[in-house]
Amino acid sequence: PQAFQIFILHKVLISRNYMGNMDMNEVDHFMPIMMRMEEDAESLPLVTHGSAHFLWIKHRNLYLVAMTKKNANAALVYSFLYKMVEVFKEYFKELEEESIRDNFVTVYELMDEVMDFGFPQTTDSKILQEYITQQGHKLDVGAPRPPATVTNAVSWRSEGIKYRKNEVFMDVIESVNLLVSATGSVLRSEIVGSIKLKVVLSGMPELRLGLNDKVLFEITGREKCKTVELEDVKFHQCVRLSRFENDRTISFIPPDGESELMSYRLNTTVKPLIWIESVIEKFSHSRVEIKVKARSQFKSRSTANNVAIMVPVPSDADSPKFKTSTGSCKYLPEKSVVQWNIKSFPGGKEYMMRAHFGLPSVESTELEGRRPITVNFEIPYFTVSGIQVRYLKIIEKSGYEALPWVRYITQSGDYQLRTN
Amino acid sequence: MEWANQLCENRQFGSKMTDSKYFTTTKKGEIFELKAELNSDKKEKKKEAVKKVIASMTVGKDVSALFPDVVNCMQTDNLELKKLVYLYLMNYAKSQPDMAIMAVNTFVKDCEDANPLIRALAVRTMGCIRVDKITEYLCEPLRKCLKDEDPYVRKTAAVCVAKLHDINAQLVEDQGFLDTLKDLISDSNPMVVANAVAALSEIAESHPNSNLLDLNPQSINKLLTALNECTEWGQIFILDCLANYTPRDDRESQSICERVTPRLSHANSAVVLSAVKVLMKFMEMLPKDLDYYGTLLKKLAPPLVTLLSAEPELQYVALRNINLIVQKRPEILKHEMKVFFVKYNDPIYVKLEKLDIMIRLASQANIAQVLAELKEYATEVDVDFVRKAVRAIGRCAIKVEQSAERCVSTLLDLIQTKVNYVVQEAIVVIKDIFRKYPNKYESVIATLCENLDSLDEPEARAAMIWIVGEYAERIDNADELLESFLEGFHDESTQVQLQLLTAIVKLFLKKPTETQELVQQVLSLATQDSDNPDLRDRGYIYWRLLSTDPVAAKEVVLAEKPLISEETDLIEPTLLEELICHIGTLASVYHKPPSAFVEGSRGVMHKRLPARTGSGESTESPDVGTAAGGSAPEAAPSIIPSQGDLLGDLLNLDMAPPTTTGPPPPNTGMQMGGMDLLGGGLDSLLGGDIGGSPAMGAGFGAAPAVMPASLNAPVGGGLGDLFDLGGGVGMPMGAYIPPKTVWLPAMKAKGLEISGTFARRAGVIQMELILTNKAMSVMTDFAIQFNRNSFGLAPAGPLQVLTPLGPNQTIEVSLPLSTVGPVMKMDPLNNLQVAVKNNIDVFYFSCQYPISMLFVEDGKMERQVFLATWKDIPNDNESQFQIKDCHLNSDAASSKLQGSNIFTIAKRTVEGQDMLYMSIKLSNGIWVLAELRVQAGNPNYTISLKCRAPEVSQCVFQCYEAVLKN
């Protein structure tokens, strides 16, 4: 796809000048810089032309570019650009050339609302949808007013929401990031957890979430229970941060619908859930032989689903042959990997796979990096950290009863094992 | 903050479905058709037409011709249509200012609409229209909107004040909007507070001395309260504003830190980084033995690590900032080495930054792991990354002595791979390792020599040559090796030539008997056949030394080299402090102060970390130097003495061309070689009796026959060249604009003659140059660069010599100068060292500028202030001068001086003697006060100068003399 882009015309799709004193034509320098960097196989998210600085991100084939001539807050800019992508996706399902063109009036309206003079304003798409709609409005009757939520301290939830049945669904999702050296020692092992909410609650409910948080249990003197030491926790805007800082209470008025309430990170070294041993032997000009052993290192009552083990092969390999003790293999030449799929992989099991590829007699001169083996999997009803939701208290002044539902799942994150 | 936002795409428009139907192709009659549709009676048709207009505008077509027709659609009851018309106005009002006035009435009406959305929309849009006539009408509606009952309108109006200020600052001040804006900081609504803070910060940034934000414990408390309630973006505005405050003592500092720490748990990375900025800054004030200090250090690590799970662009910003934080406070992340290990799928810019931080964190405790990783990286495929990994191994060796042996053997393994660029990088770093640990690893030299032929990069060739010269006595065929390089001497780059010259001289001093011929060959190549002045000068020095005093030559050339430091590319401490104050911003990503890349940031003060003050200690204005608080301009030290080394700087010009991004390449020791010779060696050169001692080196027995003839003449000239360099030609300070003098004679610059002068015209400092080509060939590619100087003078643009300069041609060029360049105190103060480059070479000269060109137009001080300041400046700072033979009366003198921005504030006559009181303001904010005494009939004036920076007095006096006498 990279060579493809050089031949097509690049131009600005839509733009907004938040500071009247800037020359919008400066952006014409941007695409040439991008193309030049691509040719040199370079990449930098921040590029300069003269006194103009371009901060950009790429979404599909769209560049979202912010241009400034001042010492702008770069972290804010990138974070805002990603937020815009989110807003556009909420509005138009997908952010792509077509959706922008098909909705350019709304896009302009949104751009006018989410930022003023370079200061980000309201970027919560649920709230924006209350007053920037995709239908035209008559001013006198029924024109929307800015919802009080926009400027409220609770800027993420509007008042007067009503449901017949009040429920909260919680997903506790843990991703395991793993980096293993070619010699088989674990270089990094990290768990990144996330608690996602789907809130179906009326009114302005107050929620309190209890976890088996080690620090909390120490404060309250219950050290015997099994606890989890959260290394770093990040919360949604709705959580009262000072309260958490003081007594580790997670209290909040939730946004309506789906949101990520919190994420956390743990550095505790756990046994890698799926362990791979591999031998990749390359006989130049003739063949590559691959032997892979996969072992599940969790309790046998759990099962990993949709396990996919991607093993790199040279890009000029051909005539694949596979043999597996379970599951099936597929050669994906576009990615230069052989993918070994195992639908269901119970704990404490070990499977084997062998692959054989031919190599052309004329070796390609292109140097290939030693790509790692990567693994995808998910293990339902299980958290690798042992985190538990002890309670979720829901209090609303109307006094309704609401049920919380909790699901746990562990999945692969960035799971890499280097090869020789 | 200023930025526009754009979406670019990489295909042209087609058209199908929904809104996209408006993007139809251009036809000739399109504008006319649109005009008709815009004036249609049917509302729906009108709206469709406006959409088409906006669509055309979006794809960059000029639809400004439809201005009146679109504005006519403004009075509509359709919100969508109104927004589109407003959008159109924002785009085209500036090009049609007279017609834009047509829109004013609707704007004003909309500002009073019952719907707050419309009121806000109107005031927001009006602020974006940069047309004077519109802004005049904006004042009244804005005043109302600032006090609107609806917070949505107030928050929009708050931002509008900043917009208006950007267009017309005076108007905003006159209308009292700044006070209203300040009041909004106490607004009941958090979003209004946040926007007011943002607007005030933005305004304060362009007026550093305005004391607008007026941060004090009370207002800080308000901000900290609002911090808990506003949106993520509002939190960033407030945190960035807090970072400008300097607490009065460590207790206040701690209490702010305590209230800011919870922000480290925010999901938005930008909130986290801004909180880190506040904490890093305020921490500076906490005593290190305080328990809380330790707690805070511990709290900073986890959020910094988590930033590495963010999107790649944010990771990049985080890593560039972590690089600063690690330099400032290495203890925070010292146990977190592993999180910086590179992943295969990291973008290359993330990989390179991680590598940098790994080296900074490398220590004896983790070196084994680090080396294993680096070795892994060195066998990857991305060339830049591999090179950096190889260099990193060398830096580890230098940094952690215990690991040096392992590093060297790792490097040797890598050399065995024979991958060309790996070998070259390895040799460059091994040279540094040799320097750090002399006489330890020379056993590997043989292996290195095997790879001699594969070196094609100057840096690697120079490194190898250095090694051969340095260890000539242990390499049997050193002479052959060096001789092999000599064949293509003139094709080599300067650094290789210089290195080869030095290496052969070293070889000669070590093995004089076999290498006479070689040394003569290289000396003659360097002095006679080369037109590079550096090379020639170094050649002459060696030649002279060898022929007069070989013992001294040995002392100079084979002198002990200074040890190279462990950390090679640390950021200079004052810059580091400034960058810490800018965490999260572009400055922190570039590792450059904002003044280096933001236009018009002249006069903006450099941010500093606060000094530690105990609770009981002085509470007097410690916030000097912060953007918010600087009270008196004089208080900020403007002339910063620095360790800067001119020779180092000048050599840098040709050794390491400034790179646009990324940290500078590690010091390779090559530059050190150069400085050794000219810096350290200089004393012994001058101290030794040049030309005196007849003691000839044993090996030079054969030389004299050749020497005298070829030596005498050029040596004089050559050394003269060298030592004259700093002296320059005495600049006569004749007139307001001194006459042009020759700065660089043609004979010193291969035929390029430069003469010039300085002038201040309409507030712009200009260097006016005449370039004459007295050589036979055409000169092109002119560029100019200044060394650091006392007032930060720097070219404000490139040297505009657009056409090649033919033989005997002359061109006059005017180069506008800025005063935002790097500062270093010079002696004399107004000395300026200049490097001019053309296609032939780089030439250096120095000149002196009349300091009067730095006198700014707003240098007239208020009488009261003048009196107070005069008293306030200690008498020690007063200097007195005589101006002789001046025949002007006091009024004529006064008006003449005024032409040079020396302003007379008051005149007093006592006993026939006129006393003139004058003030001058320099471009860097220094004030000079003067008292000029003129006695009727006496041609000798007396002048007393008082200034907080008394160093400038002498130069100022010279200006008086020059102005008055011309």
Contact in structure between B461 and B492 (CB atoms under 8 Å):
yes
pLDDT beyond 60 at B705: no
Q: State how far residue A121 is from chain B, nearest Cα, in angstroms.
A: 7
Whether the CB of B123 is below 8 Å from some CB of chain A: the reply is no
* pLDDT 10s digits, B853-909: 888 888 888 877 787 788 778 778 888 888 888 888 888 888 888 888 898 888 887
* Residue A104 covered by a domain: yes
Task: State the amino acid at position B235 in one-letter form.
Answer: Q
| CATH number, residue A119 | 3.30.450.60
CA B167-B169-B175 angle, 5° bins = 115
Q: What is the DSSP string of A140-185?
A: TTT-----GGGTSSSTT--S----SS-EEEEEEEEEEEEEE-TTS-
Co-location of A12 and A117 in the same domain: yes
Co-location of A202 and A334 in the same domain: no
Q: What pLDDT score does A376 carry? A: 96
Encoded tokens for B683: 């004393």
Contact in structure between B814 and B766 (CB atoms under 8 Å):
yes
B854-965: same fold as B741-849? no
* Residue A366 covered by a domain: no
Closest partner residue to B9 among A13, A69, A70, by Cβ? A13
Instruction: Please give the residue range of the domain that contains residue A311.
Output: 274-361+371-380
Please state, in angstroms and rounded to a whole number, the distance separating the CA atoms of residues A70 and A396. Answer: 47
Domain boundary among A80, A111, A129: A129
* Residue A213 covered by a domain: yes
Q: What pLDDT score does B474 carry? A: 84
How many CA atoms, within 13 angstroms, populate the side-chain half-sphere of residue A204? 10
Co-location of A262 and A319 in the same domain: no
Please state, in angstroms and rounded to a whole number, the distance separating the CA atoms of residues B450 and B483. Answer: 16
Q: How confident is the model at residue B641 (pLDDT cuts 50, 70, 90)?
A: very low
pLDDT beyond 60 at B203: yes
Task: State the amino acid at position A125 in one-letter form.
Answer: S
Encoded tokens for B506: 């070293």
* pLDDT 10s digits, B215-234: 888 889 999 999 988 999 99
Of all helices (H) and strands (E), which one includes residue B38? helix B30-38
Range 149-168 of A in CB contact (< 8 A) with B? 150-153, 155
Q: What pLDDT score does B708 carry? A: 35
Contact in structure between B943 and B930 (CB atoms under 8 Å):
yes
For an interface test with B, give the residue of A128, A141, A234, A420 to mutate (most B CBs within 10 A): A234
Residue B412, Ramachandran bin (φ over 0: left; ψ between -120 and 50: alpha; else beta): alpha
Residue B855 gets which letter from DSSP? B
Co-location of A172 and A194 in the same domain: yes
- CB burial of residue B859 (10 Å; 0-12, 13-18, 19+): middle
Q: Of the candidates B86, B91, B97, which has an alpha carbon nearest to the alpha carbon of residue B124?
A: B86
Range 208-267 of A in CB contact (< 8 A) with B? 231-237, 239-242, 244-245, 260, 262-263, 265
Max mean pLDDT among A202-206, B41-45, B102-106, B557-561 falls in A202-206
Q: How confident is the model at residue B638 (pLDDT cuts 50, 70, 90)?
A: very low
Is the CB of B3 less than 8 angstroms away from the CB of A68? yes
Phi, psi of B468 (to 5 degrees): -60, -45
Contact in structure between B99 and B67 (CB atoms under 8 Å):
yes
Residue B539, Ramachandran bin (φ over 0: left; ψ between -120 and 50: alpha; else beta): alpha
What is the per-residue burial (b if ≥16 Cβ within 10 Å, else e) of B571-581?
A: beeebbbbbbb
Contact in structure between B244 and B232 (CB atoms under 8 Å):
no
Closest partner residue to B338 among A79, A104, A188, by Cβ? A188
Q: What pLDDT score does B18 carry? A: 61
Peptide bond into B828 cis (omega under 30): yes
Please state, in angstroms and rounded to a whole number, the distance separating the CA atoms of residues B40 and B47. Answer: 10
How many CB pairs (< 8 A) connect A and B?
381
Co-location of A214 and A344 in the same domain: no
Contact in structure between A22 and A34 (CB atoms under 8 Å):
no
Co-location of A352 and A409 in the same domain: no
Task: Give me the residue label for tokens 């450099």.
Answer: B606
Q: Of the candidates B236, B227, B154, B165, which has an alpha carbon nearest to the alpha carbon of residue B196?
A: B154
Closest partner residue to B152 among A146, A241, A369, by Cβ? A146
Contact in structure between B785 and B837 (CB atoms under 8 Å):
yes
CA B818-B821-B826 angle, 5° bins = 105
pLDDT beyond 60 at B325: yes
**3-class SS at B795?**
strand
Mean pLDDT of B914-934: 87
What is the per-residue burial (b if ≥16 Cβ within 10 Å, else e) of B291-313?
A: eebeebbebbbbbbbbbbbbbeb
Beta-strand relationship, A167-180 and A403-417: parallel
In chain A, the largest separation of any two C-alpha atoms, in whole Å, equals: 79
Please state, in angstroms and rounded to a whole number, the distance separating the CA atoms of residues A169 and A359. Answer: 52
Domain boundary among A83, A103, A129: A129
* pLDDT 10s digits, B360-381: 999 999 999 999 999 999 988 8
* pLDDT 10s digits, A292-346: 999 999 999 999 999 999 999 998 888 999 999 999 999 999 999 999 999 999 9
pLDDT beyond 50 at B420: yes
Task: Give me the residue label for tokens 């009851």.
Answer: B77
Q: Which residues of A touch B7 (CB under 8 A)?
A: 12-15, 62-65, 100
Q: How confident is the model at residue B805 (pLDDT cuts 50, 70, 90)?
A: confident
Q: Which residues of B touch A131 (CB under 8 A)?
A: 117
Separate counts of helices (H) and strands (E) for chain A: 8, 22
Encoded tokens for A90: 């909420």
CA distances from B867 to A332, B805, B861 (A): 84, 54, 10
Whether the CA torsion B29, B34, B39, B41 is positive or negative: it is positive
Is the CB of A71 less than 8 angstroms away from the CB of B597? yes
* pLDDT 10s digits, A22-77: 777 788 888 889 889 888 888 899 999 888 899 999 988 888 888 888 899 999 99
Q: State how far residue A118 is from chain B, nearest Cα, in angstroms.
A: 5
Task: State the amino acid at position B456 in one-letter form.
Answer: D
Q: Of the candidates A369, A316, A76, which has an alpha carbon nearest to the alpha carbon of residue B234?
A: A76
Please state, in angstroms and rounded to a whole number, the distance separating the CA atoms of residues A117 and A19. Answer: 6
Average pLDDT of chain B to the nearest whole number = 80
Closest alpha carbon within chain B to A182: B376
Contact in structure between A126 and A257 (CB atoms under 8 Å):
yes
Q: State how far residue A70 is from chain B, nearest Cα, in angstroms.
A: 5
Co-location of A376 and A407 in the same domain: no
Encoded tokens for B671: 């530059």
**3-class SS at B548?**
helix
Pick the residue with more confidence: B12 or B848? B848
Whether the CB of B333 is below 8 Å from some CB of chain A: the reply is no
* pLDDT 10s digits, B645-659: 333 333 333 333 333
* Residue A403 covered by a domain: yes
Q: State how far residue B306 is from chain A, nearest Cα, in angstroms.
A: 7
Domain boundary among A67, A100, A129: A129
CA distances from A292 to A279, A288, B579 (A): 7, 13, 50
Beta-strand relationship, B783-786 and A274-283: unpaired
Q: What pLDDT score does B72 carry? A: 86
For an interface test with A, give the residue of B10, B92, B354, B420 to mutate (most A CBs within 10 A): B10
Phi, psi of A149 (to 5 degrees): -55, -35
- Kindly report the number of other CB atoms within 10 A of residue B895's CB atom: 11
Q: What pLDDT score does B160 carry? A: 95
Please state, in angstroms and rounded to a whole number, the distance separating the CA atoms of residues A246 and B442. Answer: 60
Per-domain boundaries in chain B: 457-548, 741-849, 854-965
* Residue A57 covered by a domain: yes
Contact in structure between B207 and B198 (CB atoms under 8 Å):
no
Of all helices (H) and strands (E), which one includes residue A196? strand A186-200
| CATH number, residue A289 | 2.60.40.1170
Closest partner residue to A63 among B8, B189, B263, by Cβ? B8
**3-class SS at B4?**
strand
Phi, psi of A331 (to 5 degrees): -95, 125
Co-location of A251 and A280 in the same domain: no
Q: Of the candidates B781, B382, B775, B838, which has an alpha carbon nearest to the alpha carbon of residue A40?
A: B382
Residue B403, Ramachandran bin (φ over 0: left; ψ between -120 and 50: alpha; else beta): alpha
Encoded tokens for A346: 């119970």
Task: Give me the residue label for tokens 């007013």.
Answer: A145
Mean pLDDT of B160-169: 92
Co-location of A19 and A105 in the same domain: yes
pLDDT beyond 60 at B733: no
* Residue A156 covered by a domain: no
- CB burial of residue A226 (10 Å; 0-12, 13-18, 19+): exposed
What ipTM describes this predicted complex? 0.89
- Kindly report the number of other CB atoms within 10 A of residue A334's CB atom: 6
Range 11-50 of B in CB contact (< 8 A) with A? 11-13, 17-20, 22-23, 47
Residue B948 gets which letter from DSSP? S
Co-location of A245 and A307 in the same domain: no
**3-class SS at A306?**
strand
Residue B329 gets which letter from DSSP? -
Encoded tokens for A370: 């030693």
Whether the CB of B646 is below 8 Å from some CB of chain A: the reply is no
Residue B861 gets which letter from DSSP? P
Encoded tokens for B36: 């008709």
CATH top-level class of B741-849: mainly beta
Please state, in angstroms and rounded to a whole number, the distance separating the CA atoms of residues A323 and B722. Answer: 77
Number of structural domains found in chain A = 3
**3-class SS at A7?**
coil
CATH code given to domain B854-965? 3.30.310.10
Contacts of B864 (CB under 8 A, 6+ apart): none
Whether the CA torsion B579, B580, B586, B590 is positive or negative: it is positive
CA distances from B360 to B330, B334, B353, B363, B409 (A): 8, 9, 11, 8, 21
Q: Of the candidates B903, B964, B902, which has an alpha carbon nearest to the alpha carbon of residue B934?
A: B964
